[in-house]
């Protein structure tokens, strides 16, 4: 008999996620496809509550949260009409990273409260034993720092979720599958031996967030507990699965986690506008099957991904896997309100690009060896 699965969502949380400027409408499409495949009948739907300031400041600074929410319903900042106050407020926004890719927008407060609230709710489901697998596709905002927004991430729901998991679980393994390095989560637990972070990502000079090039970055008691797998342009399914299988099993043996959190950012898919990795949903399916095969409580989160149909395809397939079965990539997309966006094939396939994989076998093997040497508790 399969393990109990919970999906965290509500109409309000989907609407809040849809307002994020970098992912407008994504959540609606993800959940519409999940429902079109009938997966909503195979799991428990849990409605999240928006997280209040006290809960947000378990990780984030009060000064950052105050600045983040200093916007009213008319999208006017709270400094009023005084020019000096306006300049001071803009300086404050700059200091907290609330500019450029993380500029304030109408609806940011609701987005932040539900993104964080959903992940914490999913974590609490595992803590309370209500389910063995909890899913929150609107989470996974892994770049935000304690007092700074970054990389489209206004809140680090991942860190808040891990802190909630620590109420029950002594050892938390965080795996990050996003195209970009999971820097915010790594930094939050850099000195901890209770949380191990494993990030598989693209690394190159000038590529955001310009971190994750070192195999091991833990400090103090956390030495050996922050593991990175920097991959080259054109990474395909074969390369990713090869290195993930080898590294993940070594991490499992060395750390023996009690619970696993997986950030399933899918901006490494071949169909994503970044067009840097050349992955299909098979990579994510294989990785999640591996993690769930460890038979420990698991929290699955979203993350990056800027092709709406590709994200919906991938996360729907992972939802099905969590429920105990797979959806073939050749399967037809069922009739639903967003069907026309899956043209021309109207299937679950991700078309790969004709680009070279810059990873050599020797390079991948060197990463595996470096990870082996860096991990703690090796006999």
Active-site positions read 143
The closest of 160, 65, 137 to 104, measured between CA atoms, is: 65
Distance of alpha carbon 106 from alpha carbon 19, whole angstroms? 8
Q: List helix spans (H) across the chain.
A: 11-18, 26-36, 53-56, 62-68, 83-95, 108-127, 157-165, 183-188, 237-255, 281-292, 308-322, 361-374
Q: Are 331 and 345 in contact (CB under 8 A)?
A: no
Q: Which long-range contacts (CB under 8 A, 24 or more apart) does 351-358 make?
A: 351/270, 351/271, 352/236, 352/270, 352/278, 352/280, 353/270, 353/275, 353/278, 355/233, 355/234, 355/278, 356/234, 357/232, 357/234, 357/235, 357/236, 357/238, 357/239, 357/278, 358/232, 358/233, 358/234, 358/235
Distance of alpha carbon 127 from alpha carbon 55, whole angstroms? 17
């Amino acid at each position: 008999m399969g393990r109990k699965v919970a999906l965290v969502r509500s109409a309000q949380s989907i609407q809040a996620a849809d307002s994020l400027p970098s992912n407008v409408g994504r959540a609606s499409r993800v959940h519409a496809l999940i429902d079109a495949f009938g997966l909503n009948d195979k799991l428990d739907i849990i409605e999240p509550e928006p997280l209040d300031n006290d809960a947000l400041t378990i990780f984030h600074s009060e000064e950052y949260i105050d600045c983040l929410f200093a916007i009213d319903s008319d999208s006017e900042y709270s400094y009023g009409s005084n020019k000096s106050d306006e300049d001071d407020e803009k300086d404050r926004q700059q200091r907290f990273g609330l500019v450029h890719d993380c500029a304030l927008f109408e609806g940011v407060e609701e987005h932040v409260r539900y993104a964080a609230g959903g992940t914490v709710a999913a974590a609490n489901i595992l803590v309370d034993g209500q389910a063995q697998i909890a899913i929150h596709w609107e989470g996974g905002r892994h770049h935000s720092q304690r007092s700074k927004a970054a990389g489209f991430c206004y809140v680090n729901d991942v860190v808040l979720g891990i802190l909630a998991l620590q109420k029950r679980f002594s050892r938390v393994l965080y795996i990050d599958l996003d195209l970009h390095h999971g820097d915010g989560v790594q930094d939050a637990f850099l000195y901890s031996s209770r949380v191990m972070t494993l990030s598989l990502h693209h690394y190159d000079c000038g590529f955001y967030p310009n971190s994750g090039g070192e195999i091991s970055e833990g400090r103090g008691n956390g030495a050996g507990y922050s593991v990175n797998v920097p991959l080259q342009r054109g990474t395909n399914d074969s390369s990713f699965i090869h290195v993930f299988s080898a590294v993940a099993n070594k991490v499992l043996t060395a750390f023996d986690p009690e619970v696993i959190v997986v950030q399933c950012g899918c901006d490494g898919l071949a169909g994503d506008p970044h067009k840097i990795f050349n992955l299909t949903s098979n990579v994510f399916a294989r990785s999640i099957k591996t993690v769930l095969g460890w038979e420990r409580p698991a929290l699955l989160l979203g993350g990056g991904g800027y092709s709406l149909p590709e994200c919906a395809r991938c996360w729907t397939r992972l939802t099905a896997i969590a429920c105990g079965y797979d959806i073939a990539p050749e399967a037809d997309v069922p009739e639903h309100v967003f069907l026309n966006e899956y043209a021309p094939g109207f299937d679950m396939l991700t078309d790969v690009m004709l680009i070279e994989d810059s990873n050599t076998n020797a390079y991948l093997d060197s990463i595996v060896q470096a990870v082996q040497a860096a991990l703690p508790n090796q006999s």
